[in-house]
């Protein structure tokens, strides 16, 4: 194991133990009294998330437009060239994460004072932003985002970053690790498996996951419907969610691309 891989593996292990953002952790307590009020809309959220996932090909195209579709020839890079490229990718991914947090905070501030009426508009809009920036981060690290396997891993990473406590986070990370087993094939083989209809396949594979994620997100966003809280909390909730979710995608992507380079 190289020094770089050892460092990334250690940082990933440390990330697994980090508690969710303090705003996220407090949301479970704040939102609990609102669960009865929110029950009627919880069943409506999963189909909305499916609608967002249904636009996956659009998010991929957008990522390719702003990042690059010219992936480096990872398997044929020497150690020095790979480490130099990885350092540049790390900086770029951090920039995308920062941009994603800012975009999410702005979206939350704009819809946070709208109460229940805007919640069903706000949730898919926020999830779409998360998915869009997640694809940019994954592609920045050279992951083949045109494959169903990587899209599944991105969504499961978002799930890990949407946890409200360590127990939820650990369960989500376990699901992600199980999904990673499908990524153990060679770089060229998985990239050539790119499918045209990723969106529909992702929905079928992850329908149960999206239902559970929908409930989590609804509870997370519930505090926004409190009149005294409003737009400021909407911005804070979205910013905290983006910080954790995009960091989860970043942690997965950087660890996975090093494993691909090492042929693992």
Say if residues 162 and 245 touch (Cβ distance below 8 Å). Answer: yes
* Residues 6 or more apart whose Cβ sits within 8 Å of residue 106: 235
Report pLDDT digits (tens) over 153-188. Answer: 999 999 999 887 888 899 999 988 888 776 665 445
Report pLDDT digits (tens) over 230-239. Answer: 555 777 888 8
Report pLDDT digits (tens) over 10-66. Answer: 999 999 999 887 665 555 555 556 666 666 677 778 788 888 888 888 888 888 888
Nearest-CA neighbor of 245 among 171, 162, 185, 141?
162
List, as one string, the DSSP characters of 112-125. Answer: TTSHHHHHHHHHHH
Residue with structure tokens 């737009």?
231
* Residues 6 or more apart whose Cβ sits within 8 Å of residue 243: 21, 97, 101
């Amino acid at each position: 194991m190289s020094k770089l891989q050892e460092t990334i593996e250690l940082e990933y292990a440390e990330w697994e133990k980090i508690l969710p953002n303090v705003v996220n952790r407090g949301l479970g307590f704040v939102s609990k009294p609102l669960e009865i009020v929110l029950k009627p809309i919880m069943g409506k959220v999963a189909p909305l998330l499916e609608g967002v996932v249904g636009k996956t090909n659009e998010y991929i195209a957008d990522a390719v437009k702003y990042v690059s579709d010219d992936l480096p020839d990872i398997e044929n890079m020497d150690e020095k060239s790979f480490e130099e490229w990885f350092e540049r990718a790390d900086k770029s991914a951090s920039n995308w994460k920062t941009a994603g947090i800012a975009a999410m905070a702005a979206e939350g501030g704009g819809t946070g004072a709208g109460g229940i009426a805007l919640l069903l508009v706000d949730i898919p809009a926020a999830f779409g932003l998360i998915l869009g920036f997640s694809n940019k981060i994954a592609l920045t690290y050279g992951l083949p985002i045109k494959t169903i396997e990587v899209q599944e891993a991105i969504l499961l990473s978002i799930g890990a970053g949407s946890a409200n406590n360590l127990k939820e986070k650990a369960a989500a990370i376990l699901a992600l690790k199980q999904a990673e087993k499908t990524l153990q094939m060679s770089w060229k083989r998985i990239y050539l498996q790119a499918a045209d209809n990723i969106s529909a396949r992702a929905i079928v594979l992850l329908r149960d996951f999206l239902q559970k994620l929908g409930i989590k997100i609804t509870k997370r966003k519930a505090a926004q419907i409190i009149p005294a809280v409003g737009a400021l909390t909407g911005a804070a909730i979205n910013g905290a969610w983006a910080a954790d979710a995009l960091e989860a995608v970043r942690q997965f992507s950087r660890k996975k691309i090093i494993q691909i380079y090492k042929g693992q």
